[in-house]
Amino acid sequence: MNIKNFKNKLNNQYSKFLIVGISTVILDYIFYKIFLLFFSIDYSKILSFAIGTVYSFKMNKSFTFHIKNSNINFFLKFLLIYLIGLYINVIINKFALFFFNDLVNYKFQLAFFIATICSAIFNFLGMKLFVFKK
């Protein structure tokens, strides 16, 4: 595979990864709101996050990285990357809020955006190079 084909494949995979990520967040939010009708906030978030995680795994496996067969090891690796990505997101968000303090009017939105971008890049690379590598 030459450099141009590799670059095109990488851009295509990242675009699909973003589509899956956005749809995962929407799915997570919808189920979170539904579960709030029946459960506490914590249980609702746990359940909606779990549904989003399974959805994200299945969609990234088949749609983004085109993996036909997988086993429990794929999901465990995916879960590890997802949890590390969550940790990165929380830490960067906390650091950004501290760093921006009162310097920026929209510090919460900016911190959220920066943390999300960083964890998304980590998750994509982790899935491409560790979970769904061919």
Q: What pLDDT shows up at residue 101?
A: 80
Residue 2 has pLDDT above 80, yes or no: no
| Domain region containing 62 | 1-66
Q: What pLDDT shows up at residue 91?
A: 93
Q: Are residues 84 and 107 in the same domain?
A: yes
Q: Are residues 62 and 75 in the same domain?
A: no
| pLDDT tens per residue across span 89-132 | 889 988 988 888 877 777 888 888 899 899 999 999 999 999 99
Q: How many domains does the chain have?
A: 2
Which of 66, 91, 111 is the last residue before a domain boundary?
66
| pLDDT tens per residue across span 46-84 | 899 899 999 999 999 999 999 988 889 989 999 999 999
Contact 17, 56 (CB under 8 A): no
Which of 45, 66, 87 is the last residue before a domain boundary?
66
For 117-128, b/e burial (b = at least 16 CB within 10 A) is ebbbebbbebbb
Q: Are residues 85 and 126 in the same domain?
A: yes
